[in-house]
Amino acid sequence: MQIITKSVEETVKIGKMLGMNVTKGTTVCLTGDLGTGKTHFSKGFADGLGIKGTITSPTFTLINEYYDGRLPLFHFDVYRVHDEESVLDLGFEEYIYGNGVCLIEWADLIEGILPEEFIHVNIEKTYKEDERVITIKSVGGEIEWLKEMRN
């Protein structure tokens, strides 16, 4: 599924739609260059889960945990990670296979430890300043509710 957004608000809205539909155990992997809107998408995603707190990118802490939504959200930002082992040391597998939802910014940097099934969201800039191309696809298996979102 490919969506073109023309503003930050539209990018947030797409994140919110995804967040409203995810189920327990879902991992969402975000990729895209710096400044493409991954954190804006993440804020919408958290809003879709019903999380009311301030959502920030955990660039220096690597993970932020939010428990006030319909499902716990574990928000990773692995931009500054130098190896997959340091992510595993955070208890990564417990988060991925736990009772919440994982959202991983810069997921392409830890491809070797991602679960077999996840939702990949890639955000790209276009030549227009606020326009983005958001590509959403299921990796490793078909996710029924994601299929329904396409229709």
pLDDT in tens, 58-67: 666 688 899 9
Tell me if 77 sits within 8 A of 62, measured CB to CB: yes
- Residue 82's pLDDT band (boundaries 50, 70, 90)? confident
**Stated pTM of the model:** 0.89
Q: What is the CATH number of domain 2-150?
A: 3.40.50.300
14: left (phi over 0), alpha (psi -120 to 50) or beta: alpha
Q: Where are the domains of the chain?
A: 2-150
> Burial code of 17-53, b = ≥16 C-beta within 10 A, e = fewer?
ebbbebeeebbbbbbbeeebbbbbbbbbbbbbbebee
The per-residue pLDDT for 130 is 87
Cα 2 to Cα 13, 64, 137, 150: the distances in Å are: 14, 28, 9, 9
